Amino acid sequence: MQQPQAFWHLENIDVTHLLCPTKLGSKDIMSHYMNRMFKKGEPVYVPEDLSDRIFFINEGRIKISVMNDEGKEITKVILGKGEVFGELALLGEERRHDFATALEDTTACVVTLDELRDLMRERSELNLFFMKMFGLRQLEMERRLESLVFRDSRSRIVEFLLHLAKTKGQRVGYEWVVRNFITHQEIANLTATSRQTVTTTLNDLRFKKLITFNRSRLLIRDMDKLAAEVRM
């Protein structure tokens, strides 16, 4: 079974022992860090909160979103175990401009901006880690923008499923399984479509025997055949 690459080990840089309290060996160092539990639906931060902490997800999932002038929520990204959020503080963000919300019970290691900067001065691999992370997230935003501009609604949903399988899924033979499958509404928010369009598309793909899904998982039966559903 092929496992997706853990974000902790991006480009073979293991930062777990530096940033996750359960891995830190020194009690003096551990006293400077905090493990926080966030209940499902609990906000981690909201716009205008002070941007002075970075969060490293140990377990669970976090949704990063914004609200437009009409009060409609737009999901930017959904992050899981081993991923980082709140990182814009490193780029000079003084106040949060988006929402971070726990999609399920979630634990995260919380490091203050000053503490992280001290660590980055001491450990050069942390600098490379964040450079790679910022670069990958920029590429991801460009990918989503291109999909929004050049693809119709159905194709955007199919592309999202393919990308989800490649980044979050596990390969089992010729099939790919994604556990903790997100809701139709979240897919709609991530692909700038409607919930009805997502439901119609998923049901059509299931009718064609390309996928099966329920609330807990998505199974893609053939990635190549599913990719052929994207309209050029």
CA distances to 178, 198, 199, 212, 224 from 185, rounded to whole Å, are 17, 8, 9, 18, 26
- All structural domains of the chain: 7-140 (2.60.120.10), 151-227 (1.10.10.10)
Structure tokens, 81: 């175990």
DSSP for 164-187, please give it. HHHHH-EEETTEEEEESPPPHHHH
Q: What is the pLDDT of residue 16?
A: 55
Low-confidence ranges of the chain (pLDDT < 70): 1-33, 232
Q: φ and ψ at 29, to 5 degrees?
A: -70, -45
Expressed in angstroms, the distance from the first to the final Cα of the chain is: 31
Question: Longest C-alpha distance within the chain, in Å?
Answer: 58
Q: Which of 182, 226, 223 is nearest to 2 (CA)?
A: 223
Q: What is the pLDDT of residue 118?
A: 86
User: Is residue 42 helix, strand or coil?
Assistant: coil
Contacts of 137 (CB under 8 A, 6+ apart): 77
d(CA 151, CA 171): 26
Q: What is the pLDDT of residue 130?
A: 86
d(CA 76, CA 141): 9
Contacts of 5 (CB under 8 A, 6+ apart): none
Query: For the purposes of burial, counting CB atoms within 10 Å of the CB of 27, is it exposed (0-12), middle (13-18) or buried (19 or more)?
Result: exposed
d(CA 108, CA 5): 19
Q: What is the pLDDT of residue 129?
A: 83
For 2-44, the pLDDT digits (tens) are 444 444 334 444 455 556 544 444 444 434 557 889 999 999 9
